[in-house]
Structure 1
Amino acid sequence: MSWFKKDPLQIIPFDTYGTKEHLYLKGRALEDEDIDLDKKDWFSLLLNSWKRFETDEIRKTPLLVYLPNDKVLNCTTDAEGYYLIDQTSDCLDQYIDSEGWLEYSVSYETKSKKRQIQLDNRFNGQMLIPSDNTSFGVISDIDDTILHTGVTSRLKWRVVVNTLFKTPHKRKALEGASEFYHLLHRGKSNTDANPIFYVSNSPWNLYRYLAFFLKRNNFPKGPILLRDFRTPFDRTPKMELAHKYHEIFNILKTYPKLDFILIGDCGEKDAYIYLDVVKEFPNRIAAIYLRAVEHTKRMKRVSNLFKDYNEVPVLIVEDGDEALTHARTYGFIH
């Protein structure tokens, strides 16, 4: 944010997912606050944290979306600066790469904006269309599942400290998580391209922060599905389902022929959500992995929840080797 001049405009396309016949493209138009994720001094950390949440959205503004088949789509940002393309499309499989990613770009309609626009007014995005060479999909939580966050701390003070006062360089991935996810991505044949979906209750304001963390810690690329950051004055419609339910249900409905592995932690509600998913989509969940947390009461509660459970294989993961052995036993990895 600048008090002396208006910041240039940018568009942040989120990594999304769809099918060969259905486009689902989403992103956000914002002023470019010049957030530098490489800066590590305390003042820059505080300033970057402020900028992430004090966003200047570009509302009700027309955009152009360019597809690889030379088709151009029109859309308009909403009151929070988000754009969304959710529609059927011509067959797009010939344009995806070996991992299933479809590339596109989005721009402002230059006649609608006279302010400075970053770079050449083309912002590149990607949508995942799982390739035919898949055995299953993976839906994973982020906080305390692959990233040390501290959601079980009193009043969640560790979450605040880790999010606001640590760069993504210093955030630690849980031991063995990256290796495990790559093995799941490659599957039993070691040549699969099994899709990985990252679902978190973190707000979209942290999208670039989390994307940077995942890339830096060598996690497989996948859609990062976050939630809208609502304020007490937010009048936009609320979703009928809680965020995680909504995203997980939508993924399973989008790929009805694909089974899924669910990965979360014992810290908050993942165990209960995943049990509901199994009930809603019987015979679609291949396994559930729940990372252990340092909280005696919650660990006991989750352990009792699955004490006599036999609908799908469930493992409470104390260390990475347990997960690898379990996944090999069930034929998920080579």
Structure 2
Amino acid sequence: MQINNGSDNIKFKAVKKTFRERLFDWLRLTSRTTVRVYRGYGRDGQLQLFGHVLELGPVPPKRYSRNIIRNFFGLIRLFIVRPKPNARVQLVWQQKTIKAVTAADGFFHFQWTPEMPTDAGWHEVKVDHISATGNTVLASATGSIFIPHRTQYGCISDIDDTFLISHSSRLGKRLFVLFTHNARTRKPFAGVVEHYRMLSYAGSHEDTPNPFFYVSSSEWNLFDYIVEFTRTHKLPNGVLLLSQLKHWYQLLKTGQNKHGTKFTRIARILESYPNMRFVLLGDDSQEDPNIYNAIVKHFGSQIICVYLRNVRKASRPHVENVKKEIETAGVHCCYFQHSEEAIDHSLSIGLAEKQVSI
């Protein structure tokens, strides 16, 4: 009898969790080292992939709720992170191992030239976080790389207040929406899904849509959140290029990153596809008009049209002047309040052909 009790006690101790572990489970956090791999992109000559290594981070949600309190803590969880700097990561592509080391914020960026041409489409890739000796895999995760087909054009879109109603220019309202909703209860602007799908399939085929790149000042913390939003509302599947990771104590500044890097991220896309022309989509709540105007000045021959949604009345005089500059450079520009106006404009210049059923 004593032996059995002893055996039972040993079994109980083996499965008993510490208070810290139980607290993390309750908060839906993990202190296990994890790898987060995002969506990379490239062409035959060069590929790139991004991600983070975290020593503390959120666990993906099991379900979504309309409960305000649950959504409040659900958002905070996304910003409870502890990056792992100087972490060694590697991936294997065409039997060749590519290595990188994370920066101070745990971010890694692979950039390499494949030895053989790669078919167009989405390709799954696994990233391993390895020990300093390289002998042990400490954590792994999969992501994907997108190589566009040779299509009529591509689209580069902002997120907040371009297709996702965010109230970016009004901090209080922006935070209220962020804290009280989740990726499935947030709303897109009326008609924007129809417009994006028209742009995605115009002059193309459902199996080979025009590529979409979503470039935003929102942080990488919100990657899964934005992916779930686009999936829920059937927006075109695309590559996300977001901003530097933030911590929970920086939450009040979410989406308020310096916008200079946005120009750089867009420029890299254009440089990656020098033979492809693009449509730019943004809004006037922050810096999109100025950034897109600068893009037109540097890459005018690659830009077909610029779409700017008017969400801020005070911005209108300035953006009307920006619109004139863009058009003077020989690029179409549509400054609109409602997506129906943007759809009509796309139809009028041949960027869209007909409505796509959703």
Contact 1:138/1:261 (CA < 8 Å) preserved in 2? yes
Deviation per CA, 1:9-30: give whole Å up to 9, x if none. Answer: 3211111211222121111122
Specify the alignment match of 2:48 in structure 1: 24
* Residue of structure 2 aligned with 1:303, choices 275, 295, 320: 320
Specify the alignment match of 2:35 in structure 1: 11
Specify the alignment match of 2:148 in structure 1: 130
* Residue of structure 1 aligned with 2:195, choices 177, 180, 193: 180
Deviation per CA, 1:26-55: give whole Å up to 9, x if none. Answer: 111223432417343334323322222220
| Partner SS, residue 241 of structure 2 | strand
What is the RMSD of the two structures over their aligned residues, measured on CA atoms? 2.9
Find out whether 1:149 has 2:166 as its counterpart. yes
* Residue of structure 2 aligned with 1:261, choices 279, 286, 291: 279
Q: C-alpha distance in 1, partners of 2:285/2:345?
A: 21
Specify the alignment match of 1:236 in structure 2: none
| Partner SS, residue 200 of structure 2 | helix
Q: C-alpha distance in 1, partners of 2:227/2:48?
A: 19
Deviation per CA, 1:79-122: give whole Å up to 9, x if none. Answer: 2222221122213423x4xxx22221112337979x997xxx54
Specify the alignment match of 1:108 in structure 2: 129
TM-superposed deviation, 1:180:
1.4
One-letter identity of the residue aligned with 2:51: G
Gaps of 5+ in 1: 234-238
Q: C-alpha distance in 2, partners of 1:241/1:157?
A: 20
Q: C-alpha distance in 1, partners of 2:125/2:106?
A: 19
Contact 1:105/1:122 (CA < 8 Å) preserved in 2? yes
Cα distance change of structure 1 residues 179 and 241 upon mapping to structure 2, 3 Å threshold: closer
Cα distance change of structure 1 residues 54 and 159 upon mapping to structure 2, 3 Å threshold: same
Contact 2:216/2:243 (CA < 8 Å) preserved in 1? yes
TM-superposed deviation, 1:241:
8.1
Specify the alignment match of 1:51 in structure 2: 77
Deviation per CA, 1:235-279: give whole Å up to 9, x if none. Answer: xxxx99812111111111111111111101122221111111111
Gaps of 5+ in 2: 1-17, 22-29, 251-256, 354-358
| Partner SS, residue 124 of structure 2 | strand
* TM-score, normalised by the number of residues in structure 1: 0.85
Specify the alignment match of 2:114 in structure 1: 89
Structure with bigger helix share is 2
Find out whether 1:214 has 2:230 as its counterpart. yes
Matching of residues 254-333 of structure 1 within 5 Å: 254-293=272-311, 295-307=312-324, 309-310=327-328, 311-333=330-352
One-letter identity of the residue aligned with 1:201: S
Q: C-alpha distance in 2, partners of 1:147/1:289?
A: 15
| Partner SS, residue 282 of structure 1 | helix
Contact 1:265/1:292 (CA < 8 Å) preserved in 2? yes
Contact 2:40/2:48 (CA < 8 Å) preserved in 1? yes
Deviation per CA, 1:122-181: give whole Å up to 9, x if none. Answer: 42111111112x11111101010000000122xx11221222331111100111112211
